[in-house]
Structure 1
Amino acid sequence: MSEWRPTAEFSALRRRAQLLAAVRAVFAERGVVEVDTPLLASAPVTDPNIEAICTNSPEGEGQMYLQTSPEFAMKRLLAAGSGPIYQICKAFRRGERGRRHNPEFTMLEWYRPGLSLQALMEEVATIVALVVGAVDSKFYSYQQVFEQHCGLNPHQASLAELKQCAAAHLEVNFDTDDRDTWLQLLMSSVVEPQLDRESLSFVYDFPASQAALAKTRIDANGVALAARFEGFYAGMELANGYDELCDGAELVRRIRDDHSRRAANDQELPPIDRNLLKAMSSLPECVGVAMGFDRLAMLACKAERIDEVIAFPLERA
């Protein structure tokens, strides 16, 4: 029986360690400070697409949550005047297990006050280059990739047209009247697989309904857009970046919207992070990005499964 052994070869674990050192060197050279925040949080994200793992409070009263990312705590540091910061830490998400997913994984996340989204994308390219060498970056709007690969304008297409497009490309065995569910399905299952695998592809200007904690804006055509991007390479999503929301009242509105969507789906309604709300008025203008470090390690090791680059996945924890 070998269940006690790691699933990753030691060569992969050594390559992972080298990559950690290289990432830290990049940020040290740029004056971005490494920080450490708690893994236990009083409140998780409210995004209906992310489920936190809850646990009993160490004090025996109520529940706490294993963080799904260090975002909330890092924003409190930014509001307190930290300046540019990054973190490499464990994050946890319930129900995420697969070829590229493990419920416990390693997140690389950083925030840059005063930087533009374009400059942040270039910084993402610098990190990816540590793994795959210099690579071309290509930039597409969300509308461009949908028109090219799905043949429709995602901002104008009717619900019926989105459903029809999904049925034409995929075997669909569910139904919903939520537009974003169909848009996200088409993005992950139709658009992403057709992006150039040899280039680092950045997709920006997502629909405002998918802003999460990014700012929104109205473009010249009157379309509401989210100031965020996602980065893809070799068929994998690697990065999710935002021009960060700094408006506490808007954050409350979005949390209420998340709770409404969760209630409609019979999902748990998580508590609100009151400390984050108090900090929002002091949060500086900044951009931020999260990257799955394990996926970077997969690229570095030419691995097909996350189990090849982590010592003990869920089944051997």
Structure 2
Amino acid sequence: MNLAALHERASLNQQVRVFFAERKVLEVETPALSQAGNTDPFIDSFSVNTPHGLRYLHTSPEYPMKRLLVAGAGDIYQLCKVWRRDESGKRHNPEFTLLEWYRLGFTWQQLMHEVADLLHTLIPHLQKPPRFCSYREAFLESVQLDPHLATEAELSACAQAHGIAISGDMPVQAWRDLLLTHCVEPQFPTDQLTFLYHYPASQSALAKIQQVDGQAVAERFEVYLGALELGNGYQEQTDSAQNRLILVQDAHTRGHDIPVDERFLAALEHGLPECAGVALGIDRILLCRMQRDDLKQVIAFSWEVA
């Protein structure tokens, strides 16, 4: 146990609360257990048997927080524990702390700047202004390939040219992800935040989609320090039918092992206000703040000894 990390975390949490109090953003709490889990094919929920039936530990407070937005809560944030069935390692712990907030009337561009303001407060050794770069620009700089136009064969050849040996066929998005993690992200500066935006529409999740230079792109961003991803932000999709379509398609892709959150979808039919939202990993931010390289150095008890 690192006692210094306990004090730093307490200080960081206090700074978060002051930051949002100054902006009149309301702190809220929502349930950690739900009757429906996350249907995203790339995120796995933990389930718990209770006397009232199966419940799922939340992977994010997104759905209940959006229900609060529909109910008129206004700008809100939450600091909470979340659980995902990820592997445990230097940068992953299946139980971690998430900071999530929603700003009514904000664009995703405005939200990026607010995220930068908060992260510069929480990681004081950051001196350089943030870097803003589109997904396409990052690929062109790193691997000289347009990820929106490249075919599966071109992406595969690019990966092989950069020493990535993968046998067998993969879909286009899987090749993009591989190049992003192995070739693009490692080139991000370690002394400056990088905001990557305009992801392919296939990675929109519950973000809006727009046309840019003839390509459909997601109105979302991710923020990094070096190659370490700190968070995801979205121009939230407000169309209830589109939200339902995405969740049902995700559930079908998963094989319907996770029930769709019908309470969330029913709330959206009453009208989600135009907003932008973001989720940041507090443990990773603390890792950067303390300039450490392993989550075990900044959390009280790692997964293995919890």
Length-normalised TM-score, structure 1: 0.92
1:289 aligns with 2:278: yes
Q: Determine helix, strand or coil for the equivalent of 2:206.
A: coil
1:130 aligns with 2:118: no
Do the aligned residues in 1 keep the contact of 2:94 with 2:303 (CA within 8 Å)?
yes
Q: String of CA shifts for 1:4-45, please: whole Å, max 9, x gaps.
A: xx3xx1011101110110111000000001000110011122
Deviation at 1:130, TM superposition (A): 1.8
Query: After superposition, where does 1:269-280 map in structure 2 within 5 Å?
Result: 269-280=257-268
Identity %: 45
Do the aligned residues in 1 keep the contact of 2:6 with 2:298 (CA within 8 Å)?
yes
TM-aligned CA distance change 1:236 to 1:129, over 3 Å: same
Which of 88, 97, 100 matches 1:109? 100
1:47 aligns with 2:40: yes
Deviation at 1:131, TM superposition (A): 2.9
Residue in 2 aligned with 1:233?
Answer: 225
Residue in 1 aligned with 2:192?
Answer: 199
Residue in 1 aligned with 2:83?
Answer: 92
CA distance in structure 1 between the partners assigned to 2:94 and 2:293 by the alignment: 17
TM-aligned CA distance change 1:58 to 1:34, over 3 Å: farther
CA distance in structure 2 between the partners assigned to 1:156 and 1:232 by the alignment: 25
Deviation at 1:54, TM superposition (A): 0.8
Deviation at 1:253, TM superposition (A): 1.7
CA distance in structure 2 between the partners assigned to 1:127 and 1:310 by the alignment: 21
Deviation at 1:229, TM superposition (A): 0.4
Residue in 2 aligned with 1:66?
Answer: 57
Residue in 1 aligned with 2:133?
Answer: 140
Do the aligned residues in 2 keep the contact of 1:240 with 1:289 (CA within 8 Å)?
yes
Deviation at 1:47, TM superposition (A): 1.1
1:309 aligns with 2:302: no
Residue in 1 aligned with 2:207?
Answer: 214
Structure 1 gaps, min length 5: 1-5
Which of 9, 29, 33 matches 1:36? 29
CA distance in structure 2 between the partners assigned to 1:202 and 1:27 by the alignment: 21
Do the aligned residues in 2 keep the contact of 1:129 with 1:135 (CA within 8 Å)?
no
1:23 aligns with 2:13: no
Q: Determine helix, strand or coil for the equivalent of 1:249.
A: helix
CA distance in structure 1 between the partners assigned to 2:121 and 2:81 by the alignment: 21
Residue in 1 aligned with 2:162?
Answer: 169
Deviation at 1:151, TM superposition (A): 1.2
Q: Give the alignment's Cα RMSD to 1 decimal.
A: 1.4
Q: Determine helix, strand or coil for the equivalent of 1:314.
A: coil
Structure 2 gaps, min length 5: none
TM-aligned CA distance change 1:74 to 1:176, over 3 Å: farther
Residue in 2 aligned with 1:298?
Answer: 287
Length-normalised TM-score, structure 2: 0.95
Which of 225, 246, 263 matches 1:254? 246
Do the aligned residues in 2 keep the contact of 1:19 with 1:130 (CA within 8 Å)?
no
Residue in 1 aligned with 2:178?
Answer: 185
CA distance in structure 2 between the partners assigned to 1:94 and 1:226 by the alignment: 26
Deviation at 1:174, TM superposition (A): 4.6
Residue in 2 aligned with 1:76?
Answer: 67
Q: String of CA shifts for 1:170-206, please: whole Å, max 9, x gaps.
A: 4334534321111111112211110122221111110
Larger mean Cα displacement after TM superposition, 130-139 or 22-31 = 130-139
Q: String of CA shifts for 1:196-251, please: whole Å, max 9, x gaps.
A: 222211111100000011011122x3211100001111331112000001111111
Q: How many residues align?
A: 303
TM-aligned CA distance change 1:174 to 1:47, over 3 Å: farther
Q: String of CA shifts for 1:30-87, please: whole Å, max 9, x gaps.
A: 000100011001112211110011111342x3x1110001001100000100000000
Do the aligned residues in 2 keep the contact of 1:79 with 1:279 (CA within 8 Å)?
yes
Large movers: runs of 4+ above 4 Å = none
